[in-house]
Structure formats: C-alpha cells, structure tokens
Amino acid sequence: MRALIVNADDFGLTTGVNRAIAELHRAGVLTSATLMARAAATEEAIEIALATPSLGVGCHVVLVDGEPVLSPTREVPHLADPVSGRFKPSLTDFLFWLYAGWNSPGCTFANRTREIEAETTAQIALLQNRGLHLTHIDTHKHTHMFPTVLRPVLRAARAAGIRAVRNPFEPAWSVRATTGAPWIRRMKVSLLRRLEPAFRRIVAEEGFSTTDGAIGVLATGTLDSTTLDSLLQRLPPGTWELVTHPGYNDADLALAHTRLLASRQTERSALETMRLFPGLELISFADLQAVARPVV
C-alpha cells in the first residue's frame, strides 16, 4: 500500500498562505497543515482550522527565525534575544548556539534543552487552549532532525498528548527524482540523512509514530508540477509525507521575511493540478498509527 500525507507548512504565516491551504483542502488535495503558534495570521488560521475539522492540523514548532510565545527576557533568555525579542535569525546561528553556546555567555547545555522544551510546550498549549486537536508536530526549518532538539520537543509533545512527528529525512530515491534543485541544497539534504538512524531510535524510544520519510524537502523553493509528478510516479509502498509550502504571493508575504516568495505560488499551482496514481491513498497524520509500520 502507498499512503501519502500532503502537508502544508507555515499555516498562519500570512492570509495568503491560509487562503491557499483552505482552498487546496477543499479541492481534496491537501490533507494536513502545521500551524505556527505566533505569526501574523495565526488567529485567522485557528479560525479556519476550527471550522474545517476534516483538515488535520499539527503544531509547526518555531525555534528559529520567529518570535517566542514565552517571555524572551524571563523564560527563554538564551533561546531568544532579550533585546530584539526574536529567535536566532538563521539555522546556522541556532546550531552554533545549540552546540557551542555561541553568543550566549553562561548558557549551559541543560538550560538550552530546558528552554527548547518550555517554548515547545507553550506553543502547543496556545493552540490546544484554543480548542484545536493537534495531530502531530514538526519544526520550522526541520530543527528536530538534530537529536539535541528532538528529545525536548518530543517530551513536550508527549506531555500534551501528541504521539506523531514528522520524519524530516528525504530518501535517496526522492532526491534522485527531484529535478531543478540547486546542487548545494542537494548536498545538504543528502548529508543530513546521516542523522536519520538517531532520529528513528529516539522516536521509537519515546513511543512516537512517524512516516517512512518526507518527499519535497529538497524541492522546497523549486516544487513545480513536473517535479511533483516525478516524485509521485516513483513513490514506493509505504507511508510518506509530501512537505509543501503553498501560498499567494501578496504584500503580506513580502513582509514575512521568508525566502519562499514566488515559489509558494508555484507550489500552489502544482498542487492544484496534482494527479493521483493507482494504489495511492491520501491520509493525514490522524490516520498515521493505523497505517504506519513500527519505527525500527
């Protein structure tokens, strides 16, 4: 059997992103979305999610390039900048902080993981307190692929009753089937796959469900109808997640400080013309435990 979760990240980023997600779900293409707890259009996204119970909704945990839910001066003074009130601006800056305490004098490893867990807990709670039933978690820029982040994120999710998480690693067959991606991104995706064995071990130890892998990660920023068709034609048996970032390229998106501008419109157009193939079942993370094989 081939099962596919079609998930849209960044739900709540802008009204145009929210609109694209709602339209694609109504069209029967998009099955899932992950919602940012603190973004410009979070309130609208929550209202859409509450009015659309058929859409699986998870928490898109933001630990980099965003604003915390907790106080940056009192509760997460190392994870966020107490002056700007924002997280580290890039994944590189975040990893320096995570593994070397870069630019955070006196910040111990225990403090770092404690702040990650506390902020994840707060983001999940904000959404659940609004009445949302969260099906899973993933993270902005896939920070949970790193074991030091994964453990506290899973602890927070489990305490909130969530037991499914994105497998952010793209298999080799999907990388080969992806056309048009820059070579430097191709190299990064391939190298980061070395972290997958540790990810699978930790996910199993913590009792979470996940997929066999994610497709569309390499194609982020270049996912068009040709690439999407190439990926779906080669989809093997198993349970997979198609990671997407659809949206409308409008004035709000231009203010969102995202590298994905015109590409969000391209992804939306590609999903609108998405062809299903025999034996392919569209599911959401809510269905994951029923179809996924145990993590080994």
Q: Look at residue 291 in the predicted model and tell me its pLDDT.
A: 61
What is the per-residue pLDDT across 81-107, written as a single tens digit (0 to 9) for each? 988 999 999 999 999 999 886 556 677
Q: Is 91 helix (H, G, I), strand (E, B) or coil?
A: helix
Q: Look at residue 255 in the predicted model and tell me its pLDDT.
A: 65
Give phi and psi for 48, each to the nearest 5.
Answer: -65, -45
Q: State which amino acid sits at residue 156.
A: A
Distance CA 32, CA 56 (A): 4
Distance CA 124, CA 118 (A): 10
What is the per-residue pLDDT across 20-48, written as a single tens digit (0 to 9) for each? 999 999 999 999 999 999 999 999 999 99
Token digits of residue 36: 């940012």
Q: Look at residue 294 in the predicted model and tell me its pLDDT.
A: 46
Q: State which amino acid sits at residue 247.
A: G
Give the pLDDT band (50/70/90) at residue 17.
very high
Cβ burial, residue 279 (10 Å; 0-12/13-18/19+): exposed
Q: Look at residue 91 in the predicted model and tell me its pLDDT.
A: 93
Q: Look at residue 120 in the predicted model and tell me its pLDDT.
A: 98
- Is the model's pLDDT at 66 over the cut of 50? yes
Identify whether the C-beta of residue 129 lies closer than 8 Å to the C-beta of residue 121.
Answer: no
- Distances in Å between the Cα of 40 and the Cα atoms of 11, 37, 255 are 10, 10, 10
Question: Which superfamily is assigned to 2-66+132-291 in CATH?
Answer: Glycoside hydrolase/deacetylase (3.20.20.370)
Q: Look at residue 265 in the predicted model and tell me its pLDDT.
A: 87
For residues 159-184, b (16+ Cβ closer than 10 Å) or e, as one string?
ebebbbbbbbbbbeebbebbeebeee
Q: Look at residue 82 in the predicted model and tell me its pLDDT.
A: 87
Question: Which of 117-131, 166-180, 210-224, 249-263 comes out lowest in average pLDDT?
Answer: 249-263
Give the pLDDT band (50/70/90) at residue 264.
confident
Identify whether the C-beta of residue 207 lies closer than 8 Å to the C-beta of residue 222.
Answer: no
Nearest to 294 by CA among 237, 239, 230, 218: 239
Q: Look at residue 250 in the predicted model and tell me its pLDDT.
A: 72
What is the per-residue pLDDT across 134-182, written as a single tens digit (0 to 9) for each? 999 999 999 999 999 999 999 999 999 999 999 999 999 999 999 888 8
User: How many other β-carbons are positioned within 10 Å of the β-carbon of residue 94?
Assistant: 21
- Is the model's pLDDT at 218 over the cut of 60? yes
Residue whose structure tokens are 């994964």: 150
Q: State which amino acid sits at residue 289.
A: Q
Q: Is 242 helix (H, G, I), strand (E, B) or coil?
A: strand
What is the per-residue pLDDT across 234-245, written as a single tens digit (0 to 9) for each? 999 999 999 999
Q: Look at residue 113 in the predicted model and tell me its pLDDT.
A: 95
Average pLDDT across the chain, whole number: 92
Q: Look at residue 104 in the predicted model and tell me its pLDDT.
A: 65
Q: State which amino acid sits at residue 276.
A: L
Give phi and psi for 256, each to the nearest 5.
Answer: -85, 0
Query: Greater confidence, 116 or 295?
Result: 116
